[in-house]
């Protein structure tokens, strides 16, 4: 179950201090572990929140230093993602060993896992590495954010150069059309297989989806017909699948760093 992974440890725009230990460290994590829990019908919402609160309480009681963010799907199948960031794979291993050696915490996680498993239709994990070279102004705080728009790109084998060309077109032109644009890109290292990239867009409200439609129009106008056709041709050649979904931050299922709670206690430290 997901807790075993804890023991071992998707349009263009993510993450600032999602897993930072202090507010000043705003860079995305170098290693991102994503745990996906697909929920049975009728088991989302408060039912799942109650189950997940057992994990949160266990980590709080242990004053555990490793934090994580939970987000719930607002589109597609009902599911929750748990985002756990590390500075390295060695740091993930260190967290795993420390958790295993803490018998009180391990026992609490085992009990919570048994109850949580009854709510799940499936469960899977993937590990990603941060691609700074494909990201734009990714350093920002997630404490005031409330949503992610996550785009998942699956690149066809042998088309890495086409993908690189797509990214370059965005990096060279999107900031000119939208000066405050930002995004972070993560490439799958371990998981389901295939050449998968995730692009995160953090949002304070869904009103940003409305404004984003205008940003895309500005980008297209700046690119011009020839460059937009090139982008379309590259995408048709390189991309096997593209999916975009909205996820809302869930403070009841998250174990956020204290700096987030201090910045917005009403949201990040909700009453049970």
Name the residue with tokens 């984003």. 212
How many Cβ atoms from other residues are within 10 Å of residue 156's Cβ? 15
- pTM flag (> 0.85): yes
pLDDT, tens only, 46-99? 999 999 999 999 999 999 999 999 999 999 999 999 999 999 999 999 999 999
Query: Is it true that domain 2-130+250-268 has CATH number 3.30.1360.10?
Result: no
- Predicted local confidence at residue 22, as pLDDT: 36
- Please tell me the distance from the alpha carbon of residue 69 to that of residue 82, in angstroms, as a whole number: 6
Predicted pLDDT of residue 165? 97
Over residues 118-163, the pLDDT tens digits come to 999 999 999 999 999 999 999 988 999 999 999 999 999 999 999 9
3-class secondary-structure state, position 140: coil
> According to CATH, what is the number of the domain 132-245?
3.30.70.100
Q: Which two tokens stand for residue 206?
A: 């869904």
> pLDDT value at position 112?
95
**DSSP category for residue 134:** G
Give the single-character DSSP code of 29: P
Q: What is the pLDDT of residues 167-204, one digit of tens each?
A: 999 999 999 999 988 899 999 999 977 799 999 989 99
Give span(s): CATH 3.30.70.100, the chain: 2-130+250-268, 132-245
Tokens encoding 208: 């940003």
Mean pLDDT of the chain: 89
The answer to whether 3 touches 112, Cβ cutoff 8 Å, is yes
User: Residue 174 and residue 12: Cα distance in Å, rounded?
Assistant: 10
pLDDT of residue 19: 36
The whole-number pLDDT of residue 272 equals: 72
């Amino acid at each position: 179950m997901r807790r075993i992974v804890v023991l071992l440890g998707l349009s263009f725009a993510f993450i600032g201090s999602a897993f930072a230990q202090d507010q000043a460290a705003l860079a995305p994590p170098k290693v991102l572990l994503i745990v996906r829990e697909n929920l049975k019908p009728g088991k989302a919402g408060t039912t799942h929140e109650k189950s997940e609160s057992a994990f949160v309480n266990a980590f709080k009681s242990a004053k555990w230093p490793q934090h994580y963010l939970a987000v719930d799907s607002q589109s597609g199948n009902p599911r929750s993602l748990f985002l756990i960031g590390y500075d390295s794979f060695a740091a993930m291993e260190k967290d795993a060993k420390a958790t295993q050696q803490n018998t009180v915490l391990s026992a609490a996680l085992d009990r919570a896992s048994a109850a949580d498993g009854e709510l799940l239709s499936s469960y899977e994990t993937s590990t990603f590495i941060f691609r700074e070279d494909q990201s734009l102004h990714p350093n920002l705080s997630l404490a005031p954010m409330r949503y992610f728009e996550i785009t998942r790109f699956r690149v066809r084998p042998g088309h890495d150069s086409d993908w690189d060309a797509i990214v370059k077109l965005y990096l060279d032109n999107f900031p000119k059309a939208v000066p405050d644009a930002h995004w972070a890109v993560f490439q799958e290292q371990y998981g389901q297989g295939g050449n998968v990239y995730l692009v995160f867009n953090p949002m304070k409200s869904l009103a940003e989806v409305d404004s984003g439609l205008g940003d895309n129009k500005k980008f297209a106008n700046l690119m011009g017909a020839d460059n937009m056709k090139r982008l379309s041709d590259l995408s048709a050649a390189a991309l096997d699948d593209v999916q975009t979904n909205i996820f809302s931050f869930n403070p009841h299922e998250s174990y956020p760093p204290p700096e987030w709670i201090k910045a917005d206690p009403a949201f990040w430290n909700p009453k049970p």
